[in-house]
Amino acid sequence: MNAQYEVELYSPEGAYLKTLTKRITKLAYQRHLGEVGQFEVTLADRLPPIDTSLFRLNGRVQIFRKPYAGATSRLEFMGFIRGWKYETDNKGVTRYTFHGEDQNGLLASRVCWPFIPYLNGFWQDVYTEYIDTLMRTMVNNNLGAGEDNPSLRDVMTSNGAGLTIGAEASATATSCTLAGKVSYNVAGVNLLELCRGLSELSRTFVAGGATSAVPVYFDMCTDSDTVLTFRTRPTRWGMNRRADSGNPLAIGLAAGNLRIPAWRHDRMAEVTAGMGLYFAPGDGDSYNGKAWALDTARIGEGPLNRREACAVGSPVETVAHTVLTDGEARSEFTGMIQETAGCRYGVHWNMGDELTADFLRQQYNVMVMGVRVECEAGRESIEPIMEVME
C-alpha pair distances (Å), 353 with each of 64, 299, 342, 385: 20, 32, 16, 11
Does residue 220 share a domain with residue 197?
yes
For 21-48, how does the pLDDT look when each residue is reduced to its tens digit (9 = 90+)? 888 999 999 999 999 999 999 998 765 6
Does residue 299 share a domain with residue 355?
no
Report the C-alpha dihedral over residues 361, 363, 364, 368, rounded to 10 degrees: 110
Count other C-beta atoms under 10 Å from residue 210's C-beta. 13
For 81-90, how does the pLDDT look when each residue is reduced to its tens digit (9 = 90+)? 999 999 988 8
Q: Who wins on pLDDT, 373 or 149?
A: 373
- What is the phi-psi region of residue 68: left when phi exceeds 0, alpha when psi lies from -120 to 50, beta otherwise? beta
**Spacing of C-alpha 387 from chain mean position:** 12
The CATH number assigned to the domain holding 43 equals 2.30.300.10
Task: Mark which of 58, 75, 102 sits at the end of a domain.
Answer: 102
Residue 150 has pLDDT above 80, yes or no: no
Residue 377 has pLDDT above 60, yes or no: yes
C-alpha pair distances (Å), 167 with each of 220, 366, 377: 8, 28, 40
Per-residue model confidence (pLDDT) at position 184? 85
Whether this prediction's pTM lies above 0.95 is answered by no
Does residue 24 share a domain with residue 58?
yes
Rounded-to-integer distance, Cα 347 and Cα 66, Å: 10
For 177-191, how does the pLDDT look when each residue is reduced to its tens digit (9 = 90+)? 666 678 888 888 999
The Cα diameter of the chain in Å comes to: 72
Does residue 337 share a domain with residue 245?
yes
For 263-308, how does the pLDDT look when each residue is reduced to its tens digit (9 = 90+)? 999 999 999 999 999 876 665 556 667 899 999 999 999 999 999 9
Residue 364 has pLDDT above 70, yes or no: yes
Instruction: Give a yes or no: residue 65 inside a domain.
Output: yes
Does residue 157 share a domain with residue 83?
no
Cβ atoms 351, 238 nearer than 8 A: yes
Does residue 249 share a domain with residue 215?
no
For 205-249, how does the pLDDT look when each residue is reduced to its tens digit (9 = 90+)? 665 555 566 789 999 999 999 999 999 998 889 999 999 998 999
Tell me the residue range of the domain where 362 lies.
240-265+331-381
Rounded-to-integer distance, Cα 104 and Cα 78, Å: 10
Mean pLDDT estimate for the chain: 88
